[in-house]
Chains A and B, each alone.
Chain A
Amino acid sequence: MTTITDPPKQQFRLSMLIYDTRYRSATIQVVALIAFMLLAAWLIDNTARNMMLLGKTINFGFFGEPASYDINQRLLDYTSRDTHLRAALIGLLNTLVVAILGCATATAVGVLVGVLRLSHNWLIARLMTIYVEMFRNVPVLLWIVFIMAIMIETLPAPSAFRGDNATASMLLGDTVALTNRGIYIPEALFSRSLGDIHFFGASSLRFDVSLDLIAFLIVLGAGLWASHRIKRRADRMQEETGNRPTTWYLRVGVVLVPVVILLVALGFHLGYPELKGFNFSGGTHLRNSLIALWLALSLYTAAFIAEIVRAGILAISNGQTEAAAALGLRPGRVMRLVILPQALRVIVPPLISQYLNLTKNSSLAIAVGYMDITGTLGGITMNQTGKELECVLLLMLIYLIISLSISGVMNWYNESVKLKER
């Protein structure tokens, strides 16, 4: 009879930390952590000591001081007497504006180009390839500066619109002016406006919200919801009876009619740009810097998105297309109903990175004098106050928050399109 004995209890020896696979990975992690913390401590200590040598202290008090500089593009009211904090807020909004405009445009162009690049039409497919390679392989900074230079050098100055022998004229029935300072377009005005609600009184973070806009969004939202209900009902009837009732005029009607009634009630009209003095006034001014930055960022990022979309589509097996075709679906519907929904699962995760890239690349704004957060907080404020460390730390924190928010939203969207296994 054999007895099974426990293996002899081995005594713990120090060398086991390295040679014993049970401990080795823990050892490596602990050592790495200690090294990392030492490095961090050294850097922080070194920074603190050298800041002291320079006679500088870390102090965020300057945020309450008047900024003393003007900003051309401001979505909220701002004068040079406002604080550095408000200047930073104005810059932040400008960053968000190009980021949102850029992401939307880049997605639209990117999806279109990505799909067209797979077209069976040789010419279209080649043209799209040229587009992608051209934008993908030239640094985005050059595109920004290039588009700005083209606008400045080729479009007429506002003075060219003046006088009897004007060399330039407005477009679309005198409603739009293309100048080298930007594009002036009509703006929405309300003669029986509901007014604004003011938030945060007179503080640096104050802002107004237009009640007209809120009313518009509520009515539009309600209309879309009603339209959706009508569609659902039609779907149900189709399933029950096999006949789909014609509902498109109802669906358009519930959206449009209330909106039009609201606009008439509010006295909606357009304000047109008009040449007054040195510049056009009235209307909305899309500054050349905004346009250059927006176009360059979107076209550049769209080239990457196009490749992501193409990869996503190619990842769906050809059998799917053939099966869909066998069911009698037309090519457009095959793409929209069968291929794209599946491709989205492949497309969305890398798309998030592209949105993040676009947002971070928007910090190149200063190249064309667009006053984003890097131009205000990380530019003029930092320069005039000499608070480099504070401004840069804050700037990084802000970009981090913006990026994490984008990731959060996109990850939530990704959850909703990914394969649902039942």
Chain B
Amino acid sequence: MKKTVFWGVLTVAGLAAGAAAAGTMDDVKARGKLNCGVSTGLVGFSAPDANGEWGGFDVAVCRAVAAAVLGDPSAVEFVPTTGKTRFTALASGEIDVLARNTTWTFSRDVDLKFEFVGVNYYDGQGFMVPKSLGVSSAKELDGATVCIQTGTTTELNLADFFRANNISYEPVPIETNAEAQQQYLAGACDVYTTDASGLAATRATFENPGDHVILPEIISKEPLGPLVRHGDSEWGDVVRWTLNALIAAEEYGITSANIEELSKGTNNPEINRMLGTEGTLGEMLGLDKEWAKRAISAGGNYGEIFAKTIGENTPVGLARGLNAQWTDGGLMYSPPFR
């Protein structure tokens, strides 16, 4: 048994790494499907609906990439990953892109050998407690039992925060958001901590969201974004510029409603270059002229996706805040299409 596992691991390490070598774009095209790593279910970000159809803010990135590369936003195979399994899934080639509220950090980028292609949500870690606990600041949590998803940055921030404030806590490590929710609601932990957006999304699914508060402290920077394997820059470029196209589309007012109109040609050359009526940006990426048009049509521009999945008019109810366009005082800023 021990031996089999050993050889099994070596074989997997060997074969998987073989598949991980360059040429992801060709693989995706040959397969006709994009393998996209998402969460096991976080409403608003990536979760299957009643018909098993995946939707959400991160899912929209997968669909946009599939639309740009394969011409079909539904040509995506969604692979649910946990905080722990996501990196192995990407490194081994099981998925082509990981879009699962993953924080861009130095060690993930450099040491784990991944390439973050950008940020689709600027976030920070927060704490959620039941209102009945009567807590108004995270500093009052001395001795509390805290539910925390393992394999995340939030696990490390939590240790640092309590150490820095010289207060104690009891961590309850948990694999998925669903289990955390169950333990938290049953009172097996006093506090649930993760990305503030994740807390809002989790709270939105509660029976009585009003009974729970998110504490004011944000204890970390969590820039969340899609990532690909290191060493295949062509594929990295495709995903990066698809994300940029969604962001730039909002900036230039390209929406799913007017995109047909605009792609007949406008007198803004940047829009023309994006939508393929001018220049050869698509060819440079190894795609066709209309790649960005298809990506934007898949689910709308960045602002439309945000509003549809996690915006203020959805149950998740997140304000744009840092995630507004730079022109509105936010951090969303696409490099020029030139």
List residues of A whose CB falls within 8 A of some B CB.
Answer: 43-44, 46-47, 50-51, 53-56, 68-72, 79-81, 149, 152-153, 156-160, 180-181, 276-279, 281, 288-289, 366-367, 369, 371, 375, 379-380, 383-386, 388-389, 392-393, 396, 399-400, 403
17 intermolecular pairs with C-beta atoms under 8 Å apart: A43-B11, A50-B17, A55-B113, A69-B156, A79-B163, A80-B160, A149-B182, A152-B186, A277-B144, A278-B143, A369-B175, A371-B173, A375-B150, A389-B13, A393-B6, A393-B9, A403-B2
Question: Which residues of chain A have C-beta atoms less than 8 A from B18's C-beta?
Answer: 46, 50
Q: How far is the CA of A181 from the CA of B84 in the complex (A)?
A: 24
Please encode chain B, from 148 to 187, with 1 for each CB lying within 8 Å of some chain A CB and 0 for all others.
Answer: 0011000110111011000001111111000000110011
Output the nearest chain A residue to B85 by Cβ-Cβ distance.
A383
Pair A278/B190 contact, Cβ less than 8 Å: yes
The complex places the Cα of A288 from the Cα of B172 at a distance, in Å, of 10
Cβ contacts under 8 Å, A289 to chain B: 172
Bound-state CA distance A396–B20 (Å) is 25
Contact A369 B231 (CB under 8 A): no
Chain B count of residues within 8 A CB distance of the other chain: 56
B188 on the A face (CB < 8 A): yes
**B319 CB–A CB distance under 8 Å:** no
With beta carbons under 8 angstroms apart, the residue of B21, B88, B169 that contacts A53 is B21
Contact A51-B13, Cβ < 8 Å, known A56-B113, A396-B5, A400-B2: yes
The answer to whether B142 has its CB under 8 Å from any CB of chain A is: yes
Contact A399 B2, beta carbon cutoff 8 Å: yes
Contact yes or no, A277 B159, CB < 8 A? no
Known: A43-B14, A380-B151. A80 touches B163 (CB 8 A): yes
Q: Is B112 an interface residue (CB 8 A)?
A: yes
The secondary structure that dominates the A interface is helix
Chain B residues whose CB sits within 8 angstroms of the CB of A50 once the complex forms: 13-14, 16-18, 20
Are the CB atoms of B188 and A46 closer together than 8 Å? no
Contact B111 A386 (CB under 8 A): yes
Query: CB distance B145 to A375 under 8 Å?
Result: no
Q: Are A157 and B17 in contact (CB under 8 A)?
A: no
CA–CA, A403 and B3, complex, Å: 14
Provide the bound-state CA to CA distance between A160 and B187, in Å: 10
Q: Does B106 lie at the interface of the complex (its beta carbon under 8 Å from any beta carbon of A)?
A: no
Asked if B187 and A51 make an inter-chain contact with CB atoms under 8 angstroms apart, the answer reads no
Task: Please name all residues of chain A whose beta carbon is closer than 8 Å to the beta carbon of B230 when the two chains form the complex.
Answer: 54-55
User: Which residue of chain A has the shortest Cβ distance to B155 in the bound complex?
Assistant: A69
Q: Is the CB of B87 closer than 8 A to any CB of chain A?
A: yes
Complex contact B158–A70 (CB within 8 A): yes
Residues of B with C-beta under 8 A to A276: 143
Contacts A278-B190, A379-B84, A379-B151; A181 near B145 (Cβ below 8 A): yes
- Does B10 sit within 8 A of A, measured CB to CB? yes
CB contact between A46 and one of B5, B14, B83, B150 (< 8 Å): that residue = B14
A379 and B149 alpha carbons, distance in the complex (Å): 12
Q: In the complex, which residue of chain B has the Cβ closest to the Cβ of A289?
A: B172
Across the interface, A366 reaches (CB within 8 A) one of B144, B156, B170, B175, namely B175
B16 / chain A contacts, CB cutoff of 8 Å: 50
Contact check, A180 vs B2: say whether CB atoms are below 8 A apart.
no
- In the assembled complex, how far is the CB of residue B189 from the closest CB belonging to chain A, in whole angstroms? 8
Interface residue? B196 (CB, 8 A) = no
Residue of A with least CB distance to B17: A50
Chain B contacts for A53, CB-based, 8 A: 17, 20-21, 231
When chains A and B are docked, how far (Å) is the Cα of A300 from the Cα of B93?
37
Give A203 Cβ to nearest chain B Cβ, in Å: 21
Checking A79, A278, A380, A400 against B155 with a beta-carbon cut-off of 8 angstroms, the contacting residue is A380
Contact B13 A157 (CB under 8 A): no
Q: Is the beta-carbon distance between A80 and B159 smaller than 8 angstroms?
A: yes
In the complex, B91 has a CB within 8 A of chain A: yes
**Residues 103-145 of B contacting A (Cβ, < 8 Å):** 107, 111-113, 132-133, 141-145
Q: Which residues of B lie under 8 Å from residue A389 when comparing CB positions?
A: 9, 13
A51/B142 contact (C-beta < 8 A), A181-B188, A386-B112 known:
no
Bound complex: CA of A270 vs CA of B156, how far in Å?
Answer: 36
A80 to B171, CA, bound (A): 12
Contacts of A70 in B (CB 8 A): 158-159, 162, 169, 171
- Count chain B CB atoms within 10 A of each CB in A53, A70, A80, A281 and give the residue with the most: A70
Given A152-B186, A152-B188, A380-B150, do A392 and B156 touch, yes or no (CB 8 Å)?
no
Q: Which residue of A lies closest to B187 (CB)?
A: A157
* List of A residues within 8 angstroms of B155 by Cβ: 69, 380
* Cross-chain contact of B142 among A56, A157, A277, A385 (Cβ < 8 A): A277
Taking a contact as CB atoms closer than 8 A, the residue among A156, A375, A384, A386 that contacts B173 in the complex is: A375
Query: Which one of A160, A366, A386, A389 has the greatest number of beta carbons of chain B within 10 Å?
Result: A386
B188 touches A383 (CB 8 A): no
Give min CB distance, A80 to chain B, whole Å.
Answer: 4
CB distance from B75 to the nearest CB of A (A): 27
Chain A proximity mask over B187-231: 1 for CB below 8 Å, otherwise 0: 111100000000000000000000000000000000000000011
A383 touching B143 by the CB < 8 A rule? no
Pairs of residues from A and B, 6 with the lowest C-beta to C-beta distance, nearest first: A50-B17, A157-B187, A80-B159, A46-B14, A386-B112, A383-B151
Docked CA distance A262–B2 (Å): 47
Q: How far is the CA of A157 from the CA of B158 in the complex (A)?
A: 23
The minimal Cβ–Cβ distance linking B207 to chain A, given in whole angstroms, is: 15
**Which of chain B's residues 57-89 have a Cβ closer than 8 Å to chain A?**
83-84, 87-88
Question: Given that A54-B113, A55-B113, A386-B112 are known contacts, is A279 also in contact with B159, CB under 8 Å in the complex?
Answer: no
Look across to chain B and name the residue whose beta carbon is closest to the beta carbon of A288: B188
The answer to whether B150 touches A379, judged by C-beta atoms less than 8 angstroms apart, is yes
In whole Å, how far is B328's beta carbon from the nearest beta carbon of chain A? Answer: 36
Choose among B17, B21, B160, B186 the residue that contacts A68 (Cβ–Cβ < 8 A).
B160
Residues of B within 8 A of A385 (CB): 111
Chain A residues whose C-beta falls within 8 Å of the C-beta of B159 in the assembled complex: 68-70, 80
Question: Nearest chain B CB to A5's CB is how many angstroms away?
Answer: 53
Known: A44-B10, A181-B170, A277-B143. 17 other contacts (CB 8 A): A43-B14, A51-B17, A53-B21, A71-B171, A72-B170, A72-B171, A80-B159, A156-B187, A157-B187, A159-B133, A159-B187, A160-B187, A278-B141, A369-B150, A379-B151, A380-B151, A386-B107
Contacts of B84 in A (CB 8 A): 379, 383
Chain B residue numbers with a CB within 8 Å of A46 are: 10, 14-15, 18
Q: How far is the CA of A122 from the CA of B158 in the complex (A)?
A: 57
Q: Taking CB as reference atom, which chain B residue is nearest A153?
A: B186
Q: How far is the CA of A71 from the CA of B156 in the complex (A)?
A: 11
Shortest CB distance A184–B (Å): 12
| Given A152-B186, A180-B188, A276-B143: A54 and B160 interface contact (C-beta under 8 Å) | no
